[in-house]
Amino acid sequence: MTALALSRINVPRALWFAPLQWAKKIDWTTTLTTLTTLLVAMVCGYAIPILGAIVPAVISAMLLCLVVLALPAHVVVKFMLGLVMLIVGQLTFFFGIQQAFWLPYLLLLLLGIKYLIEKLRFTSRVLRPLSLSNISVLICLFCILFFLSALSNSTDVTSFAVAAKNYLLPWILTLFVASQIRQTGDLDGVWKFFLWMVVVQVPFAIPQHFYFAKRNGASLDAVVGSFGGNYLTGGASGAMAVFLVFGIVLAVAFFRRHQIGRKTLLGILVAALVTIALAEVKIFFFVLPLALVLLFRWDLIAHPTEAIGYGLTGAAILALLLFSYQQTASSDLGKKKTLGTYIENTIDSESDPYFVNPLTKEVSRIGAILSWFRYNDLSDPRFYVGHGPAASRVSQTLGSGVAARKYRFTLTTSTASTLLWDVGFIGYSLFIAVFSVAGLGALRLASYAPPKEKATLEAIGVMLLLSVPLSVYNRDLIDSAVMQTLVAFWIGYVLLCRRSLLRGSWQLPLAKTHLTF
């Protein structure tokens, strides 16, 4: 039958539209989801015997990316904090999956993509632009200095990428919190999560202290709570101690502003002290008194008698903990050591500027800073912009940096020494300036904020200011995913509160909204 003959056949009109009507009745969302699931299952079924477990891992990662991009901003931030503080640490400590340390940085890249998507999305809401904060300017200058250091030293692509992971990616979280969170109330659950995380450290620390730390070859830093590491090589015990200090300061600040009760405060204090008693982290005894002095700075002046009483009580508790540390050290060495000798040896080992361990090439914390001044002249441009990103790095996989190959001692003792070698005096100065300005800004914002925000800003301001001396203690500010996530979140929250104040969300007099940070 020819095409002309077929065209002359009279077909009922209803038959032409039947497929369209049938298509309208189909639930295409369910249908496409089912078909996609079947396709993924079929691909995995054929590919797993050939390629192994990498296939479902890649598929899961792709699905997780889609979920993260679809979630609201405040949910993504909470997911980020939960991933870093609860999941990554267990994957590394109990399962030995060291690659899990890359998960937070990959999620930070995803946050950057989500930020760009939100910026490109059309919106009819027009907001008055705010003046650029000094914190944002300092972060931008640090990033620019990072690129200038890489260009001036002709840093290779691999070293640049490794250093960017630690030096640049955490600021994505700061940008995301400051710009994508609508109001401070969206993050109320985060502070409760932080308080609960203090209590959660106890069940993690108990088996780590009584089982893993007693095994042959165990590191002194085997007790790391939920913060991850390896019982043989150590872990993020310093980050755990700093977080416990933050938890105590946050709980005390909440109690002062009537946000939690006395029993809750007592429970958090006991949990933090028990965890510290199980983990020999001496920095806790330096950071906690300073944090409480900063928190109660005005009360110390207004009520000196009460301050002395509380101070003596706190000093007695810390002395008991130090005594327990001294007893542990004496039993490990097999000889008696007094508390004074224990403290003296601890201070001397970190303040000797000429100490170099012949086996590990480690130097003291003070010696690391003095060594940089000793080998970098003021007339050398590298004094100001460094030897290039990752120049101080020592890696068996990717190789050592240019500066690490040149000198026969460890350059990466602390955040301060690492940044001085990598991005120079200007880079390190900009880095600590971010924390100083953000900390002072948080304390100033606290005097204008509602009760809950006042408590959180006080705690954050104290910890950001203490991050400056802590940069000489270890590399956590540039090398620990937990600490990097925390400080990036803190700074982002300070900028979020600044935005809330300037936009009038807190309903405060305009005379008080002139901010200089």
249 neighbors 295 (Cβ within 8 angstroms): yes
Q: Using DSSP, state whether 230 is helix, strand or coil.
A: strand
> Measuring CA to CA, which residue among 190, 165, 195, 185 is closest to residue 77?
190
Amino acid, res. 223 = V
- What average pLDDT does range 315-319 have in this prediction? 74
DSSP tag of 301: H
| Tokens describing residue 327 | 């007893």
Whether pLDDT at 313 is above 70: yes
Phi-psi region of 234 (alpha: psi -120 to 50; beta: other; left: phi over 0): left
> Measuring CA to CA, which residue among 425, 415, 421, 428 is closest to residue 478?
415
Rounded Cα–Cα distance for residues 214 and 222 (Å): 9
- What average pLDDT does range 444-453 have in this prediction? 92
Confidence of residue 338 (pLDDT cuts 50, 70, 90): low
- Identify the pLDDT of residue 6: 45
Whether pLDDT at 346 is above 50: yes
DSSP tag of 356: B
- Integer-rounded Cα radius of gyration of the chain: 28
- What average pLDDT does range 359-363 have in this prediction? 77
pTM across the whole model: 0.85
Percent of the chain surpassing pLDDT 70: 76
| Tokens describing residue 397 | 């996989």
Q: Using DSSP, state whether 363 is helix, strand or coil.
A: strand
Helix (H) or strand (E) holding 235: strand 234-235
103 or 494, which is more confident:
494
- Identify the pLDDT of residue 353: 64
170 neighbors 109 (Cβ within 8 angstroms): no
Q: What is the pLDDT of residues 223-236, one digit of tens each?
A: 899 998 887 777 88
Confidence of residue 511 (pLDDT cuts 50, 70, 90): very low
Helix (H) or strand (E) holding 229: strand 229-230
CA 14 to chain centre: 64
Confidence of residue 147 (pLDDT cuts 50, 70, 90): very high
Percent of the chain surpassing pLDDT 90: 47
Confidence of residue 302 (pLDDT cuts 50, 70, 90): confident
Rounded Cα–Cα distance for residues 154 and 390 (Å): 12
Whether pLDDT at 13 is above 60: no
Whether pLDDT at 515 is above 80: no
Task: Transcribe 422-435 into DSSP letters.
Answer: HHHHHHHHHHHHHH
- Identify the pLDDT of residue 66: 75
438 neighbors 463 (Cβ within 8 angstroms): no
342 or 289, which is more confident:
289
Burial of 78 (0-12, 13-18, 19+ CB in 10 A): middle
216 neighbors 225 (Cβ within 8 angstroms): no
CA distance readout (Å), 337 to 258, 307, 332, 334, 352: 44, 32, 11, 9, 21
384 neighbors 424 (Cβ within 8 angstroms): yes
Whether pLDDT at 324 is above 50: yes
Confidence of residue 348 (pLDDT cuts 50, 70, 90): low
- What average pLDDT does range 238-266 have in this prediction? 94
> Measuring CA to CA, which residue among 290, 289, 308, 307 is closest to residue 298?
307
Lowest mean pLDDT among 25-39, 252-266, 365-379: 25-39
> Measuring CA to CA, which residue among 428, 506, 441 is closest to residue 468?
428
- Identify the pLDDT of residue 407: 87
Supply φ then ψ for residue 356, to 5 degrees: -140, 120
Rounded Cα–Cα distance for residues 189 and 427 (Å): 35
| Tokens describing residue 296 | 């109660």
- Identify the pLDDT of residue 216: 78
Cβ atoms within 10 Å of 144's Cβ, excluding its own: 11
Q: β-strand 229-230 against 234-235: which pairing, if any? A: antiparallel
Supply φ then ψ for residue 309, to 5 degrees: -65, -50
> Measuring CA to CA, which residue among 325, 350, 354, 355 is closest to residue 337?
325
- Identify the pLDDT of residue 333: 47
Helix (H) or strand (E) holding 144: helix 134-152
- Identify the pLDDT of residue 124: 42
Supply the mean pLDDT for the chain. 82
Tell me the CA end-to-end span of the chain in Å, nearest whole number: 84
- Identify the pLDDT of residue 405: 87
Q: Using DSSP, state whether 414 is helix, strand or coil.
A: coil
- Identify the pLDDT of residue 432: 97
Residue bearing tokens 């104040």 = 501
Burial of 352 (0-12, 13-18, 19+ CB in 10 A): middle
Residues 6+ apart with CB under 8 A from 224: 89, 93, 204, 208, 234, 235, 236, 237, 240, 279
